Structures are given as C-alpha cells and as structure tokens.
Chain A
Amino acid sequence: MKNIVRLGVILMIYAGVAGALLGWVYTKTAPKIEEQARMERQQAIKEVMPPDAKVFEEKTLSDGTVVVVGYADDAKTQVAGYAAEAVGTGFSSDVRTMVGFLPDFRINAIKVISQNETPGLGTHTQDEWFQKQFSGKTIDELLVNKDGGKIQAITGATISSRAVTNSVRKLAEKLSQSTELPKTAPQTAAVDSTQTPQN
C-alpha cells in the first residue's frame, strides 16, 4: 500500500513537471499558431473568390455563419461573389472547407482548409483534381456520383468526399435562401467547367 502511494507521488511529480513545461511552450507558440491560421484563412478566401471581387466585407448572419461578400467595385454596389466556411463530419475528423460562390450561388472554387482524415485516402480531399470539380457546379449537382450528383468521390474515401460535398451543398442552400446577404441579379459570366476531370 505504502509503495503504491510512493510510486503514485513520483509519477505525479514527473507528470507535473512535464505539464508545466508544456504550458510554457503553449503560451509561447499559441499566438503564432493563431496568426498562421488567420493568414491561411485570408489566403483561402482570396483563392476561392471570383477574380473580379476587389473589395471584401465580412457579414455575420443571424445564425452565426460568417460570410465574406466580395464586391467588384469600391462603392459596393456590384456583388462579385461570396466566401464562407463549410464544416462536414468526415471519417475521423471535421472537414473544414472554404467555399467561394458566384453571385448566382454556383460554386466558384473550394479549398479544404483542415481535415484529419485517413492519410492516403481521405486526405486526398485536399488534392487539386478533387477540389477543381466543384467549380461551376449548381446546388443540384452538388452530390457525390454515388448519390446521383456530379462530384466524383475519391476511391476508398467516399465518406470524406461526401463530408465535403454535402457540407458545401448545405452551405450553398443556406446562403442562396438567406435574405440577409446583399445580392445582385445573376450575371452572365460563366465559369469554365469543361476541364473537370472525369475519372
């Protein structure tokens, strides 16, 4: 009995020292990590926004969704596109995707910004060919091919593919029906979707 207590106390001391050290390292690195995440978000927004969006404005909808509205002119009269984050539950993690919309809520581009899916399978959601096929898709087309849509799921990673596709679709539905966003009449500018890989 006495021995168990002694061993427990020794282990506790080691764990305590380790914990204190980690706490110190954490406070040193946390601001830097946050800054990286913020920069990455900015970068992702820029990448998915239609190219004619010049002025960005952040809007928070009543349900808490943060949407970045891109305007083509400084006076903010002509909406060029939107960007917002979609979160889907994948195989082993939440898959977060930055989604860029055209003014008519077709997809301009998407970028998977964080996921912890199975390496070699679900991680392919970050591959260019997978993300590229979203460009130009309308809401109705946003389903993986197994579910009758036009998004080719990744072999061996249907759950991860579905997580991305369905979260993007949900976001598209929400934004297109939202009355809180500034909107302009659908434009004629079309996105070239002919290069979508078919395999």
Chain B
Amino acid sequence: MIKEFTKGILKENPVLVQALGLCPTLAVTSTAYNGIGMGIAVIFVLTMSNIIVSLIKKTVPSKIRIPIFITVIATFVTIVKLVMAAYTPALSKQLGIFIPLIVVNCIILGRAEAFASKNGVLASALDGLGMGIGFTLVLFVMGTIREILGSGTLTLGFPLLVNPFTINVLGNGYNPALLMILPPGGFLTLGILMWLKQLLLEK
C-alpha cells in the first residue's frame, strides 16, 4: 500500500516521468512561492477527486464517466479558488488563471481514469497524495532555481503560504538572468531536472 504513495514522488513522478501537467509546471514556477501554492492546490484537488471518484466508481456508467469525473474535479477546483480568494488573496492574485486551469490539468483526470476508477478508496487517496506531492516537489525545485537565478530572490510563505516574504539571496549586486523567469528558463530547468531524474533512476 505504501508503494501507491511513494511511486508518485520519483519513480512515476507526474511531471518528470509521465510528463503530465506541463503547462502549469512551466507557467507558474517563476517563484518558489507560486510553485508551492500551485502544488498544494493540486495536492488537495487530486487527493479529494481521487477519493470521490473511487467512492462513486460503481455508480458511474462508463459512457458518462468523463463528464462526471470533470464535474467532481471542477467542484473541488472551485472550492480551492474561493477559499484561496478569501484567505490568501495575494496568492490567489499571483496564481490567477492557473487555479481554474487545474480542471484541465491532465494529471488529475489521468489519475481518476487510470487509477481511482479501478482501485479502492485508501489506495486512491494515497495515490493522489503521492502524485500531488511529486508534482509539488518538482514545482518547488523549479520555482527555487528559476527565482534565484532569474530575480536573485527567494519568496516563501510562513506558515507555508500565509505570510509571503522575500529573501534577497544573491544580494543587490546580482544582475538577474531574466531569461530564467521567462518561458525559455522554464523549459531549460525542466529539461535539466528530467535529465537528473534519468541519471538517478538508471543507477
């Protein structure tokens, strides 16, 4: 059972191995803070939708399973959006359009279809949690690398996301490599991470 949880972190990492959800991965990781925020939203939506999909799998006719899965996912995404707007307005502003876009994040529908609709509730919850954490780790690492190189700073929140603060990592003399927070920097960072993962797994 524990394997269902750990597989998403490295061995079947949604971003680095399955190459799912690349759009938000590339788009929001201009700061570490955004990466964690997006990641946590995805952990919540993915775990909840996996649980619900697993619970209702017997009552869902296979012909209309996709619209029903999407309804479940969209409901949780909207909840996340409303709660974020109410309690972490700064983050909600930063992530803007990417939160509603979680609905079409293929990781979530992918796990509902490939795993939760065929497995038990606990296994599905662990799968969702593990995949979500794997996704978050990649986003956090990418955000950290891109922000430090691209802006010379590191933005984190304490606790977790509530009070964002920025550390000036490389000092004022640093001339930021703007490329890193622009789209090419996202592709470069993602490519390097995929390469590193390959090195790790081949051993």
Contact = CB atoms under 8 A, between A and B. Distances in A.
Contacts of A36: 85-86, 89
A184 to B, nearest CB: 36
- Size range of the chain B interface in the assembly: 20 to 34
A197 interface: no
B68 A11 contact: yes
Interface in A3-44: 6-7, 10-11, 14-15, 18, 21-22, 25-26, 29, 32-33, 36, 40
B67 interface: yes
B83 A18 contact: no
A120 interface: yes
* Interface of B: prevailing SS: helix
B203 interface: no
Contacts, number: 57
Contacts of B56: 14
B164 interface: no
A158 interface: no
Given A29-B82, A29-B85, A33-B82, A11 B96 contact: no
Interface stretch (B8-16, B73-81, B106-114, B169-177): B73-81
Given A32-B87, A116-B97, A120-B183, A18 B67 contact: no
A119 interface: yes
Given A10-B61, A33-B85, A116 B96 contact: yes
Contact of A22 (B30, B59, B78): B78
Interface string B44-88: 000000000000100111011001100110110011001101110
Given A10-B64, A11-B67, A36-B86, 17 more contacts: A10-B61, A10-B68, A11-B64, A11-B68, A14-B71, A14-B72, A15-B71, A18-B75, A25-B79, A25-B83, A29-B82, A29-B86, A33-B82, A36-B85, A116-B97, A120-B182, A120-B183
13 contacts: A10-B68, A11-B64, A14-B71, A18-B71, A18-B72, A22-B78, A25-B79, A29-B86, A33-B82, A33-B86, A36-B86, A116-B96, A120-B182
Leading 10 A-B pairs by shortest Cβ distance: A32-B86, A29-B86, A18-B75, A29-B82, A36-B89, A33-B86, A33-B85, A7-B64, A25-B79, A14-B68
